[in-house]
Structure 1
Amino acid sequence: MTAYRRIGRALLRTALQAIPTILVIIVLDFFLLQLAPGDAADVMAGEAGSATEETVAALRSRFGLDLPILHRLFAYLDNLAHFSLGFSPRYNMPVAELIGQRLPGTLLLMLVALAIAVVLGLALGSIMAVFAGKLPDRIISVLSLLFYSIPGFWIGLMLIVLFSVKLGWLPSGGSGTIGSDLTGLHAVLDQLRYMILPATSLALFYVAIYARLTRAAMLEVKSQDYVRTAAAKGLSPFTITTRHILRNALLPVTTMAGMHLGGMLGGAVVVETVYSWPGLGRLAFEAVMGRDFTVLLGILLLSSLVVIAANAVVDLLHAWLDPRIGVR
């Protein structure tokens, strides 16, 4: 069997396993959200300030919020079967269209944050492993512990105070200069300026994890026989570290990165709220505050699909990093 056929079978198996998993997630999320007090009609009536009981009842009837819970569940599953995520009563538009507007911003933020976390984590972890037990290892270990322990919103606020308020180097929020007509490279650079602080705030927590994980994995690989054989052949320490130690130490790091890709959406809720970044995280926060559970269900479903897709990519990446694993 060729490698391409093995990869195709692995992807097909992952897709078949994902179907019951996603169904369970949808049903659990649906029933758990029903435990929250109030609904979108209550919030909309409260914001109107002068809504009557008849108006609230009409809103519930219009959006199907007065139906029994099982009827609403089956209606939602029927929408999914027809490739529809439903309709948002608060935003008065289809959920798929609403998520489509916010998805690019969140994906870009998550990918940039993950890239920063992986690159910095590997670099710092490699330094810690090379200087294990020495001063650089201890300093980076303390910094990693701080990044891991400090809440993300506090880091975000401190970065705003330092780089926006005190130094004035970077903007404190938003995704681009308001009213600008920049195009091409200038538009990309403008967006990058607005992305540096939120992406860094989101990445620092994961930098600490990847640095510690890389250090532990490299120290374990360093004691293997093939590393000593490479040293006996006269290979330089840099070649041994990059080609033999670091490459094999990438396996646990890539596994965690795949798991964190979907989990980053939870951190994006805080970061996007602090920096007013127009993405799914901020949309999820607004949906919770507005009791717009249809939107929230769509976001949760999307995050589940991202986790499953990321795990499939990680499996293929493992097969490439270590051919002994294979794709069965």
Structure 2
Amino acid sequence: MRVLLLALRRLAASLPTLFVVLAGLFLLLQLAPGDTVDALVAQMGGGDPVMMEELRRYYGLDVSVAVQLGRYIWRLLQLDLGFSAIYGKPVSAVILERLPATLLLMMSALSFAFAGGMALGVLAARKVNRWPDTLISTLGLIFYATPSFWFGLMGIVIFAVNLGWLPAGSFEEIGAGYTGFRRALDIAWHLFLPTLTLALIFLATYLRIMRASMLEVLNLEFVRTARAKGLSPGRVVRRHVLRNALLPMVTLIGLQAGTMLGGSIVVESVFALPGLGRLAYESVVQRDLNTLLGIVFVSALLVIAVNFIVDLLYARLDPRIVT
């Protein structure tokens, strides 16, 4: 119960930050040239000034920035994300259409990066200063230093174009009409390369953090005591070292949730995935302010939810933080 109360307090403290971020982004976007009406007129091939003024009045763009911001915050308090002039439907409907692809990509990439980084970090720490440690550390440095879009493009060239093993992009086979388990397999097959592309940079971070944390915990007194009692090296790692070494890894999940959402913009653009990242890019280009702010709002909620879960996990791993 105390763990839940602690997490709820931190959750409540993050809500004012959410509104400050949205208000700051709203004001920042006002500095960019043009607005939604300009984008609409450009798509239509032109329009007269009278029509443009009517459109601005219809979409509430004829008032001051302060009034627009006040109206937006008031709608947001009512969980109304507004209307997308570019897509011709409520922003919530547009986001719900794109959210599943981003959630699947983010969850699969985060799971792969965490599990792979933990396994490689443990192996590197147990083989410290030997060839497995050197190889893993070198690969981690390469993964961290290489841009994700380059991994994606090379993956498409090698595995999709040259070898033909994997699809080059999209979320699923268009027009195949798969359902049930067959559709799930098709989506997983299409997400393999995007997941690997997004996860490699984060995997490199996790393995380096896990290696350093393992080496630190291995030198603590309670670990030496466990070894002196005659416990096997594997049991010492599983029961005494791993739980304490995981604390920085769990913390890093919450810190990198937002970074991973930002990285999905590049990955979704490279692989033509219909997710929130690609939608954010399209909204910026088309000056669809309501949709962009809605994406930021939903993304912030996702980050808050991830950090809420991280707080619960952290309290489970280290009960001292709730005392």
What's the TM-score, normalizing by structure 2? 0.96
Match of 1:25 in 2: 21
Match of 1:42 in 2: 38
Match of 2:130 in 1: 134
- What amino acid is the match of 2:209? L
Q: Distance in 2 between matches of 1:66 and 1:156?
A: 43
Match of 1:61 in 2: 57
Give the C-alpha shift of residue 186 in structure 1. 1.2
Q: Distance in 1 between matches of 2:145 and 2:51?
A: 48
1:184 aligns with 2:163: no
Give the C-alpha shift of residue 296 in structure 1. 0.8
Q: Distance in 2 between matches of 1:55 and 1:127?
A: 66
Q: Note if contact 1:259-1:310 (Cα within 8 Å) is conserved in structure 2.
A: no
Please identify, of 79-88 and 209-218, the stretch whose mean Cα deviation from structure 2 is larger.
Answer: 79-88
1:164 aligns with 2:173: no
Q: Note if contact 2:14-2:304 (Cα within 8 Å) is conserved in structure 1.
A: yes
Give the C-alpha shift of residue 64 in structure 1. 1.4
Please identify, of 83-92 and 15-24, the stretch whose mean Cα deviation from structure 2 is larger.
Answer: 15-24
Q: Distance in 2 between matches of 1:12 and 1:212?
A: 31
Match of 2:277 in 1: 281
Q: Distance in 2 between matches of 1:124 and 1:307?
A: 26
Give the C-alpha shift of residue 211 in structure 1. 0.6
Percent of aligned pairs with the same amino acid: 48
Q: What does 1:226-237 correspond to in 2, within 5 Å?
A: 226-237=222-233
* Unaligned ranges ≥5, structure 2: none
Q: Distance in 2 between matches of 1:120 and 1:129?
A: 14
Q: Note if contact 1:171-1:194 (Cα within 8 Å) is conserved in structure 2.
A: yes
Match of 2:206 in 1: 210
What's the TM-score, normalizing by structure 1? 0.95
Match of 1:308 in 2: 304
Match of 1:143 in 2: 139
State the SS of the aligned residue for 2:319.
coil
Match of 1:242 in 2: 238
Q: Note if contact 2:11-2:308 (Cα within 8 Å) is conserved in structure 1.
A: no
CA distances 1:220-246 after superposition (whole Å, capped 9, x unpaired): 000001111111111111111222212
- What amino acid is the match of 1:243? R
Give the C-alpha shift of residue 267 in structure 1. 0.4
- What amino acid is the match of 2:81? L
1:173 aligns with 2:169: yes
Count of equivalent residues: 323
Give the C-alpha shift of residue 309 in structure 1. 2.0
Q: Distance in 2 between matches of 1:12 and 1:321?
A: 18
1:196 aligns with 2:192: yes
Give the C-alpha shift of residue 263 in structure 1. 2.1
1:109 aligns with 2:105: yes
Q: Distance in 2 between matches of 1:80 and 1:275?
A: 32
- What amino acid is the match of 1:309? A
Alpha-carbon RMSD across the aligned residues, in angstroms, is: 1.3
- What amino acid is the match of 2:61? L
Give the C-alpha shift of residue 189 in structure 1. 0.7
Q: 1:317 aligns with which of 290, 313, 319?
A: 313
Q: Distance in 2 between matches of 1:23 and 1:207?
A: 32
* Unaligned ranges ≥5, structure 1: none
Q: Distance in 2 between matches of 1:163 and 1:23?
A: 43
CA distances 1:100-135 after superposition (whole Å, capped 9, x unpaired): 111111111100000000011111111111111121
Give the C-alpha shift of residue 193 in structure 1. 0.4
1:155 aligns with 2:124: no
- What amino acid is the match of 1:135? W
Q: Distance in 2 between matches of 1:40 and 1:260?
A: 32
Give the C-alpha shift of residue 202 in structure 1. 0.6
